[in-house]
Chain A
Amino acid sequence: MINKRLEFTYHYTLTPEWQQQIVENLGATLIDNKLLIIPEEIASGGSVFLEVLPGLSVHLLDMTFHVPVAITRAAKDHNYYMIYYDIGDEITTHILGDTVHQAGYHSKLGMGFMDSSVTGVIIPPVNERSYSLRLLVDKNYYKLLAATNRTAELSDLLFDESKNTLFFYSHIDSRSKVLLNKLKEDHHFSSSSFELKLKHIALYLLNYIVDRTADFEPIINKLSQQDIDNILKTSKYLLDNLLTEFPGIPVMADIAGMSGTKYKTLFKKILKDSPSNFFSNEKLLLAQKLLQSGDFNHINDIAYELGYNNPGYFSRMYKKMFGFSPVDVLIKSIY
């Protein structure tokens, strides 16, 4: 049986009103203005939306979709940033604009920071649990928080929307990952302390993200939806081709339809690294998985698998990134 993809569009608000769209469009049940239960024929599970503080809300989603869906988050309210954490068992496929951010365990960038004026599309996997959390932060409030560890001058520049767009994709940092995994394991929407727990986690995540972004090199650039789509198209390309050699900037810029200079700048702004560093780091993260997979007996096999011509070079790069040698983590095949 082939199900037609169910498509629907919604937009967030910092306050709970947005949930009415889910009630009207999907026939969801809204309890206490914070708990959304989706009809069972579409998905099992639901979501919780809480206002944590004036200027900060959190939306936690724990659902298993039974039919294919494409959910578009429209850019309607422009007054907030959305920080997105994907902690699903399986990878959720993101589309921003028309870029399908295709799945694969090696290609998972679990978090995104985006301006509410950028449209996003999510295609969750069918019959797999989707577990994700979003912080919605009022722009002025976020600026106030972030200003505590930057100069006023830089802060004004970063948050000037006529000159700069705040937007990036990344892996979830380890401190946040620990919190989110615990939330996923321990707590159920129904437990009495759950709301306190969720608020606690939202506030800690907010602290961690402000702390983390303070170390980012500021790249001041205004991004169009098209820029974002094009850059994410190339990061997806890299993530889908981790077993090859780095294709080179000209090829990448060509895929993005930009000049090499612009491409490098925007890539670094969004992915927080140069294309070639991004690519080699992702390769090494994949190496980490392969080393522990039990499918390989020799470091050399993994190095060649990942497209390194020189296994010694691979080992050195690996050690540089993780602080220990590949042999220290290799789990040999039992055959």
Chain B
Amino acid sequence: MREVIHQYGVELEWVTDIAPKLGGYVDGNNIVVPGEARPGTRFILPINDNMTAFVVDVTYNEDVIYRLRNIRDDFVGVYYNLTEGDAVHILDDVSRLAGRWGCNLAVFDANLGGDYLVKMGCTTFMLAIFIKKSALKNYFSKTEQYDQILDSVFDSEKNTIVKFDRMGSQAWWLMNELRKTNATGALYETMVIGTVYGLLCDYLDQTANQEIILEKVVQEDVVNIIASQAYLVEHIEEQFAGITKLATDANMSETKYKRLFKKIIGITPNAFFLTNKLSFAKEKLETGNYTVGEIAVKFNFTDASHLIEQFKRAFGITPKEYLTLL
């Protein structure tokens, strides 16, 4: 397994640092890694003094573990990551699959590190945006919601910017436009910049509707919350474990646990659990091998009508109607 201990940043010194660790070299705006399964792209584009984009479009021919250890802490990384295959968040010594529930959009303060394993054969399409905190602050300053708390949001003593999320439809669309473009050279650069601006706009629009939770977070907290999230998914067929147990497992008070879960994942543990239960139930339903009643039992709903009611609330239609649409 290849171990890559690296850093990112708006300034580009990380590029020459990471290239040999990946077994490659820098060629213009690209990091070239010889011998990869298909000619991949690792494209770095400084957009302005405050922003740098990094596009990764590769198929891995070996296992790689990335250990992000930033030296600079003046930026935020926004990662749009479409990886197919086994990619794993490493949490202490435990590996958790970053599977379907896992994020494909991560927003990470530079002062948080993280470990991430990508298995051989994985195909990754990722766009990372490194943006200076001062520039991001400036964007947020035009948002009403941030009026009173802007300074606190960007005060590292009071708050850490961190979020694991799923891309919305606009972000998906933008990533796919970038992925399928056949532009090259200067035209490709305009496509990358256009995509970055589109994604940032979408990110601002999304956060404008989300509750802001101020909390200082350390790497250990993030690890514990992701572990807790993984636990919920692994026990998705059972009843909700309860905040007391989850908080104890995460080594936090219940209040802190609930706050951090919501801050990092975006919704409460309860809502997260139910939403995922319903998506799994929906998937089982799609196989056609189970009745609604059987699925209600399998996923520990009180009864079929409880499942139907929750299903309808989440997806807008009943399971029966959904099946006829397939």
B183 near A192 with CB under 8 A, answer: no
Q: Do the beta carbons of B208 and A192 come within 8 Å of each other?
A: yes
Interface of chain B: mostly helix, strand, loop or mixed: helix
> Chain B contacts of A147 at CB under 8 A?
185
- Supposing A148-B184, A204-B177 touch, asked if A196 and B190 sit within 8 A by C-beta, the answer is no
Residues of A42-93 at the interface with B, using a CB-CB cut-off of 8 Å, are 53, 56
A199–B194 Cα distance when bound, in Å, is 7
- B156-190: CB near A (< 8 Å → 1, else 0) gives 00000000000000000000010001011111101
Q: Known A148-B186, A192-B142; judge A203-B191 contact (CB<8 A).
A: yes
B139 sits at the interface (CB 8 A) = yes
Q: Does A200 contact B (CB under 8 A)?
A: yes
Contact indicator A53/B190 (Cβ below 8 Å)? yes
Give the distance to chain A from B135, nearest Cβ to Cβ, in Å.
11
B198: which A residues are within 8 A, CB to CB?
Answer: 196-197, 200-201, 204
- Asked if A329 is an interface residue, CB under 8 A from chain B, the answer is no
Find chain B residues with CB under 8 A from A211 CB. 183
Q: Does A144 contact B (CB under 8 A)?
A: yes
In the bound complex, CA of A148 to CA of B189 (Å): 12
How large, as a class, is the contact surface on chain A? 20 to 34
A157 at the interface (CB under 8 A from B): no
Neighbouring B residues of A53 by C-beta, 8 Å: 190, 193
| Interfacial chain A residues near B208, Cβ < 8 Å | 192-193
Alpha-carbon gap, A194 to B142, bound state (A): 10
B193 touches A196 (CB 8 A): no
**Contact pick for B183, options A56, A141, A207, CB 8 Å:** A207
A-B CB contacts (within 8 Å), total count: 75
A222 to chain B, nearest CB (A): 26
Instruction: Determine if B194 and A196 form an interchain contact, defined as CB atoms under 8 angstroms apart.
Output: no
A192 to B195, CA, bound (A): 18
Segment of B199-207, B247-255, B284-292 engaged in the interface with chain A: B199-207
Interface centre among A202, A204, A210 (most CB of B within 10 A): A204
A251 sits at the interface (CB 8 A): no
A144 surroundings in chain B (CB, below 8 A): 185-186
- For residue A6, CB closer than 8 A to chain B, the reply is no
For B204, the chain A residues whose CB sits under 8 A away are 192-193, 196
Asked whether A206 is an interface residue with its Cβ less than 8 Å from the other chain, the reply is yes
Contact A203 B190 (CB under 8 A): yes
Say how far A110's CB is from chain B's closest CB, in angstroms.
Answer: 21
Within 8 A of B (CB), among A169-206: 192-194, 196-197, 199-204, 206
Not counting A194-B201, A206-B190, a sample of 10 additional A-B residue pairs whose C-beta atoms are within 8 angstroms of each other reads: A145-B185, A147-B185, A192-B140, A192-B204, A193-B139, A193-B200, A193-B205, A196-B197, A204-B194, A207-B181
Interface residues of chain B, those whose CB is within 8 Å of chain A, are 139-140, 142-143, 177, 181, 183-188, 190-191, 193-195, 197-198, 200-202, 204-205, 208
